[in-house]
Structure 1
Amino acid sequence: MKILVTGTAGFIGFYVAQKLAELQYEVVGVDSINNYYDINLKYGRLQAAGFDTGELKDNQPVCSKIYPNYCFIKLDIADRVQMEHLFANYQFDMVCHLAAQAGVRYSITNPHDYALSNLSGFLNILEGCRSVQIRHLVYASSSSVYGLNGNAPFSVHHRADHPVSLYAASKKSNEMMAHSYSHLYQMPTTGLRFFTVYGPWGRPDMAYFKFADAIINNQPIDVYNNGEMQRDFTYIDDIVQGIIKVLAKPAEANANWDRLHPDSATSSAPYRLYNIGNSSPVTLINFIEALESAIGKKAIKNMLPMQAGDVLSTDADMTDLEQDFNYQPKTDIKEGISKFVHWFREYYQI
């Protein structure tokens, strides 16, 4: 079974590709290694996965020295020609699409980056999948699509039509684009709405990463909305477990789907949407307290009002994923944060 994993120099893709390789799939990873955040961290992930980053050249495969069945190609998914070549050369059986231009606030100041990666890049993925008659496309959506929706916990069966950032709008667009391909070509697609994912090798643009660095270095941290915002923090190992389970079970059409009472999460086409989170929201202030405990030092807090583009709460209704895949997150906040802080100190030699 040959699987394409995009975004493998990124946080989630780094873990997913290695897990699939451990399970003896033939894995091809791609990533453009852009400079949205520290590229040294991205190269560090690749090195940890067994790649000699000195051998990397654009559009040329390099194989892992740890996993002989895992190769990496430095490639931009927005490059239509190279993506066509990639699918033609490898004839993938499944695709796990995790590459994207991330970041809510960055989308406010750099909107065009999102059109390239999250829209044009996703279209290239869909076209590649269509060309090889893919068995299953699993792609990353986001809890941010819920936007102004005030119905908590967030359910994939609720409407999500009012995003409050271009990033969220691009992820909602991905879901709609995927549905059109599922409908037109009977192509199984599953979108996963990720809730806040954290852990070792995480993204330095995420609040918990910045907070750890600031607390350790006696610098103040900006705490928005007095720390009263809630997030459904989910540890990386739990996320990977869910992704692997979903990949193995291609989406199917809902035989009972009713166009007069449409269900947003399913379709008459082989299309599904799932939340993937922890379903146990934690306030930002409690999350900071877990960091303080793991680090052994109090944070200097700069309390600020709500930021543009942020949502007050993210709370995942996990009913569907639990029923269909027996998905059960196992890592609580204290354990997860402790593991992250241990890695952080080790990686940055603190």
Structure 2
Amino acid sequence: MSSDLPIRKIIHIDMDAFYASVEQMDNPELRGKPVAVGGGGTRGVVSAASYEAREFGVRSAISGMQARRNCPDLIFVKPRFDRYTEISKKIRKIFLDYTDLVEPLSLDEAYLDVTENKKGNPSATLIAKEIRDRIFNEIGLTASAGISINKFIAKVASDYNKPNGQKTVNPEDVLSFLEDLDIRKFYGVGKVTAEKMYQKGIFTGKDLKSKSLEYLKEQFGKSGRYYYYIVRGIHTSEVKPNRTRKSLAAERTFQENLSSEIFMLEKLKHIAEEVSRRLNKSKVAGKTVTLKIKYSDFTLQTRSKTLPYFINDKDIILDTAKDLLYQEKMSNSVRLLGISLSNLNTEKTIKQTASKENEVSVQLQFGF
């Protein structure tokens, strides 16, 4: 069976509990203990958790209070993003020894296209193992990896043998791998979508594959097309070394809920200054200002306004955010405010080539 799709060898590297692992590496007293990076106070949020903490149900994004209830012996440490960035740069330097096609997703994960690599090694599996060994020996941290024919499958596979493991999905195994996959494991299928799929009898990739393109588009909108193709192993997105930033934001969670707009304006001033600082540091500007409001009952609301010109000045950002704040009356007291700038002047219009409607299968002659 043949295909017109490009055949690639893609590795997804994902550091294991990165922030927490850095803290345990730098402080031997934390090793082997449940550690959470983030705030442990009444308003704090967990940014990352060590594997020892995860055994007690401590996960990123849960409140510090909930984390402490789950694990009374939990040790909280303040995040040190400068240190995490320093380590991330060292890891990326290792990646670049193998290929220039490195697409960072965050400080702790990246895609690598090693179809043609600097080592002349035809085995993506062996390259992934060598990279993980180097990260451990040269830096002292463990990483997991997924290896396959495209970014989607590589990312799913990297989660299979965590921590400190890897999984290769060979071309001839792609379709069966996806058919057996729990729908919750599909990258891009969130909790809400998974529940909706369950209600419609879609529990595995095989169930998803049985649905027509028309049905999926009708039930899931634009995402329906994405689901239709990924379950067939079709994901043509290339590894892009220079990912274009789409937005830049800053937000604050408050120790006490704010009910007065006067106090909110004071907080927005500081947030606008931070956004402006980040924009100027990145040498970008944006047209669309979005105000993010999280109420005391945890409901989330966003309000946006697009200007006819690019801005990065703190006063203009603040004035626009003020307009959005007064756009409508607050429905409750507020626990978080955020400002983001999107529609940046770094963005490029990317022409999307039309996907083929016919089902295509993967070429098997691909030496992993």
Please indicate, yes or no, whether the TM-score normalized by the shorter chain is above 0.5. no
Give the TM-score taking structure 2 as reference length: 0.23
Give the TM-score taking structure 1 as reference length: 0.24
* Bigger strand share: 2
